[in-house]
């Protein structure tokens, strides 16, 4: 494992050095030469958008670690928001979703999560009120995301003691109801889910597969990632092209100016 990391670091340094040399050289010859594409991903690390199938075997793969969730209350029709970005209560009074309205998943396993807010606090309870005040993950609430069976955009958030989050009003988000039924539009425990950002890297891969399967997946992945070969193609008149061919079977133009 250590050798693999070392090899990859060396390869990266080599590539960066070579790239920089050619950029400087190119820039001298043509001050206006625009940089059109820089893409080192996938060669050195696992990335889902390059090789989505790597993630296919992960249970509940919509909810990988680091995924940002935005939740719109079907009753207030407003987004759930960590007021001030964190440090106080949650509210449901925002018409648009951005940083304060995005909850990042801290994935414990396929069905349990902690939520982290913009200022990095974790979502928890203060009595029945839903708040985001603690910096310490273990002081926060373990949450389950319950999807409507035929519509994965409708969810409820359930605490470990079986209570559901509800937006009773725009400024009162509580967890004080344990009996729910149906997915009606007048049910304050129902939220419409949108994914506001995904992360698909090695951590998501290993965390997603869990401690038993992850070592096998990573072993197979490392075998693939450590035999790329690099062909410095041409470096003339401000044009530098490098092709890194992945053993994964994909060829990328990693630098094209
Ligand atoms: C949302 O509610 C909080 C808490 O009452 C309030 O401070 C904030 O100004 C409200 N924001 C909007 C956009 O209504
Ligand atoms: C996930 O973790 C929770 C809490 O530790 C546990 O109750 C549940 O069985 C786990 N689920 C799976 C699928 O491992
Ligand atoms: C959380 O961390 C911030 C800065 O890292 C600190 O200022 C704040 O006091 C901490 N809050 C708690 C409740 O520990
Ligand atoms: C899901 O099923 C319920 C009844 O089981 C139905 O009322 C609802 O309209 C369905 N939703 C979608 C999006 O098909």
Task: Walk along the chain (257 residues) and give the pLDDT tens digit of each residue.
Answer: 343 334 444 444 444 434 443 443 433 344 444 444 444 544 556 666 667 788 888 888 889 999 999 999 999 999 999 999 999 999 999 999 999 999 999 999 999 999 999 999 999 999 999 999 999 999 999 999 999 998 879 999 999 999 999 999 999 999 999 999 999 999 999 999 999 888 888 888 888 888 888 888 888 777 766 654 443 333 332 222 232 333 233 333 333 22
Residue where the block lists tokens 């197979």: 220
**Ligand 2 atom 7 nearest Cα:** 112
Query: Do 186 and 102 belong to one domain?
Result: yes
Query: Do 115 and 186 belong to one domain?
Result: yes
Query: Do 186 and 216 belong to one domain?
Result: no
Q: Which two tokens stand for residue 94?
A: 């925002």
Helix axes 202-225, 2-29, angle to 10 degrees: 90
Q: Is 61 domain-assigned? A: no
CA–CA dist 254, 240 (Å, integer): 10
Query: Do 207 and 191 belong to one domain?
Result: no
How high is the pLDDT of residue 221? 76
Query: Do 79 and 171 belong to one domain?
Result: yes
**Ligand 3 atom 7 nearest Cα:** 135
- 51 CA to centre of ligand 2 in angstroms: 28
How high is the pLDDT of residue 186? 95
CA–CA dist 35, 32 (Å, integer): 9
Closest ligand 3 atom to residue 136 Cα is: 14
CA–CA dist 101, 85 (Å, integer): 8
For the chain, the residue count is: 257
CA 168 to each of CA 102, 132, 145, 146, 161: distance values in angstroms, whole numbers, following the listed order: 20, 18, 19, 19, 19
CA–CA–CA angle 235, 241, 247 (5° rounding): 135
Contact 197, 102 (CB under 8 A): yes
The phi-psi region of residue 89 (left if phi > 0; otherwise alpha if psi is between -120 and 50; otherwise beta) is beta
How high is the pLDDT of residue 226? 61
- The CATH number of the domain holding residue 187 is 2.80.10.50
Query: Do 211 and 141 belong to one domain?
Result: no
Closest ligand 1 atom to residue 95 Cα is: 13
């Amino acid at each position: 494992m250590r050798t693999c990391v070392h090899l990859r670091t060396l390869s990266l340094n080599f590539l960066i050095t070579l790239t920089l040399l050619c950029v400087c050289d190119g820039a001298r010859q043509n001050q206006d030469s625009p940089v059109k594409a820089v893409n080192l991903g996938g060669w050195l690390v696992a990335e889902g958008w390059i090789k989505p199938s790597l993630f296919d075997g992960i249970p509940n793969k919509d909810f990988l670690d680091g995924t940002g969730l935005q939740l719109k209350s079907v009753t207030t029709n407003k987004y759930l928001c960590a007021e001030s970005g964190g440090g106080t209560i949650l509210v449901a009074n925002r018409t648009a979703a951005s940083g304060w309205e995005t909850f990042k998943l801290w994935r414990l396993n396929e069905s349990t999560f902690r939520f982290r807010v913009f200022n990095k606090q974790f979502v928890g309870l203060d009595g029945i009120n839903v708040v985001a005040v603690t910096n310490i993950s273990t002081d926060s609430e373990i949450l389950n995301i319950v999807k409507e069976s035929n519509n994965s955009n409708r969810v409820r958030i359930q605490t470990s003691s079986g209570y559901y989050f509800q937006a009773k009003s725009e400024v009162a988000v509580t967890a004080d109801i344990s009996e729910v039924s149906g997915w009606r539009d007048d049910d304050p425990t129902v939220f419409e889910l949108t994914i506001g950002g995904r992360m698909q890297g090695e951590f998501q891969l290993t965390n997603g597969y869990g401690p038993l399967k992850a070592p096998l997946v990573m072993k197979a992945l490392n075998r693939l990632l450590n035999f790329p070969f690099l062909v410095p193609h041409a470096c003339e008149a401000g044009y530098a092209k490098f092709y890194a061919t992945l053993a994964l079977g994909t060829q990328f133009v990693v630098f094209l100016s």
